[in-house]
Amino acid sequence: MPVELALEFFASLESLPELAAGFESLRRSAKPDRAAGEAEVFSGADALDAVEAGWRAIEREGALSTPFQSFAVAAASLPAHLAHGHEPQIIVVREHGETRAILPLVMTSMAGSRVLRFFGDPLIQYGDAVLSRAGTEAHLMTALLAAEKLGADAALLRKVRNDAKISRVLSRRAQVSLVEEAPFVDLRRDVSLSSRDARELRRYRRRLAEQGEVKLHITRGSDALSCVQTALELKREWLASKGFTSSVIGDEAWERVLTSLVTENANLLACARLEAGGRLAAIEVAITHGKRWHAFLGAIEPAFSKCGPGQVQMADTIAHARANGFAAYDLLAPADAFKRVIASGAISVRDHALPFSLPGQLAVRAFRFAPQAKSLLGKLPAPVRSAAQTLLRLR
């Protein structure tokens, strides 16, 4: 390593832990973990078409860990990625002519660096690779090693569940930039709220009932389109009123992903609409997969805000999911106070950062600072917060 390069490397590290992490990253690159199979990279707008057959074959095995790794979600996300200038980079690992693993990524630009992210990010709520039943961690290692050669400065692989297929590989090679929890309700168990929380829920239900009959409607497919559009509108208005921004809500390209999914994949998206006296009180857009119901997006009608419509809607939706054979109601990350109240468990969800270059080391430090920056910005007045978020590009 030239002296100048070494000095720049050390200058990018501020503490002994970071110094150790930097050397560990270099060591792992020099002595990679066991790999298997051969990797092929498909790039550009046609990459998804090139890998469709192998991807769908793995889906038919029932090997997907979450709906966010489905080909349908990837295909719906492609136009949004292209609209934002992201370049698909999909790595396929084969052995004996069979597809063992697929690592779907996009090349993006963040803070002046070329950064790889999961295909579907920021829409997807869980990131992972697609691994066949015959696939192993060694095949995922081959995919990750191929990703390191794509010319990126770093990879930011967000929202990786502790039980994700790629979790153990990333835990050995990447740095953790954020840890959150995704609460869930085990619908196979009869879990009751505490007496205090149950009493509060009954009080909210009585308040809503004063407006008329309280009823939950579940729709899918084209019947759910207007429901999803209303949920997006309510969420946009709420974000604007609080001075918050979102990478998905308010972004036309990413919002179109949701509307296309609901009309073209009726088995994937559902909309739960709670009404009081025939008027909308609360909405939940859910993504379903197997026996898991994922509470993807929630919104309330401001006129009912003092009646706890979101809590009642969620309680009734949980009852609906249980009655229809779902095993889990996934509240997704991050965990908040109400989610913890109704949850029966939680799983860790991590953002992993993997630097490939010296600029990538700086980018990884920025990734680690971003959550704290957002937290600090959240304490500012709404107009100042919105301007600062735009300036710092922390959306």
Q: What is the CATH number of the domain that holds 62?
A: 3.40.630.30
Does 37 share its domain with 175?
yes
165 lies in the same domain as 214? no
Q: pLDDT value at position 88?
A: 99
Instruction: Classify residue 105: in a domain, yes or no.
Output: yes
In a domain, 8, yes or no: no
Do 102 and 168 lie in one domain? The reply is yes
- Closest by Cα among 345, 333, 349 to 295: 333
Report the alpha-carbon distance of residue 207 to residue 212 in Å, rounded: 10
Provide the β-strand partners of residue 110: 113
Residue 13 lies in a domain: no
Residues 156 and 226 in one domain: no
Let me know whether 106 and 155 are in one domain: yes
Backbone angles phi, psi at 176, to 5 degrees: -95, 120
331 inside domain: no
Per-residue pLDDT at 373: 60
Residue 112's pLDDT is: 87
Please state the domain count of the chain. 2
Tell me if 6 is assigned to some domain.
Answer: no
Asked if 254 and 385 sit in the same domain, the reply is no
Please tell me the distance from the alpha carbon of residue 88 to that of residue 127, in angstroms, as a whole number: 15
* Residue carrying structure tokens 């390209």: 253
Amino acid at 53: A
Are the CB atoms for 283 and 227 separated by under 8 Å? yes
pLDDT by residue for the chain (395 residues), tens only, comes to 343 334 334 433 433 333 343 434 443 444 457 899 999 999 999 999 999 999 999 999 999 989 999 999 999 999 999 999 999 999 999 999 999 999 999 999 987 899 999 999 999 999 999 999 999 999 999 999 999 999 999 999 999 999 999 999 999 999 999 999 999 999 999 888 999 999 999 999 999 999 999 999 999 999 999 999 999 999 999 999 998 999 999 999 999 999 999 999 999 999 999 999 999 999 999 999 999 999 999 999 999 999 999 999 999 999 999 999 999 999 999 999 999 999 999 999 999 999 999 999 988 888 887 665 665 555 566 666 555 555 444 44
Q: Are residues 319 and 360 in the same domain?
A: no
Q: Which long-range contacts (CB under 8 A, 24 or more apart) does 166-171 make?
A: 166/103, 166/128, 166/129, 166/131, 166/140, 167/128, 167/350, 168/137, 169/33, 169/137, 169/140, 169/141, 169/144, 170/144, 170/350, 170/352, 170/354, 171/352
Looking at the domain assignment, is residue 317 inside a domain? yes
Asked, as a colleague might, if the bond just before 334 is cis with ω within 30 of 0, I would say yes
pLDDT for 111:
78
In this prediction, residue 138 carries a pLDDT of 98
Domain contains 104: yes
What is the distance between the alpha carbons of residues 256 and 248, in angstroms, rounded to a whole number?
10
Together in a domain, 113 and 211: no
Residue 206 lies in domain: 189-326
Query: Are 196 and 226 in a shared domain?
Result: yes
Kindly report the CA angle at 228 between 223 and 230, in degrees rounded to 5? 110
Distance CA 37, CA 140 (A): 9
Cα–Cα distance, 285 to 225 (Å, whole number): 10
Same domain for 109 and 198, yes or no, is no
For 228, 268, 324, the CA distances from 222, given in Å and listed in that order, are 10, 12, 21
Q: Tell me if 159 is assigned to some domain.
A: yes
**Are residue 197 and residue 307 in the same domain, yes or no?**
yes
Residue labelled with tokens 């899918």: 220
Nearest Cα neighbor of 313 from 278, 279, 269, 282 is 282
- The length of the chain in residues reads 395
Residue 271's pLDDT is what? 98
Alpha-carbon distance 203 to 197, whole Å?
Answer: 10
> Count of alpha carbons within 13 Å of 64, Cβ hemisphere only?
22
Residues 172 and 194 reside in one and the same domain = no
Q: What is the pTM of this model?
A: 0.88
**339-343 long-range Cβ contacts below 8 angstroms, 24+ apart:** 339/183, 340/183, 341/193, 341/194, 341/197, 342/183, 342/185, 342/193, 342/197, 342/314, 342/315, 342/318, 343/183, 343/184, 343/185
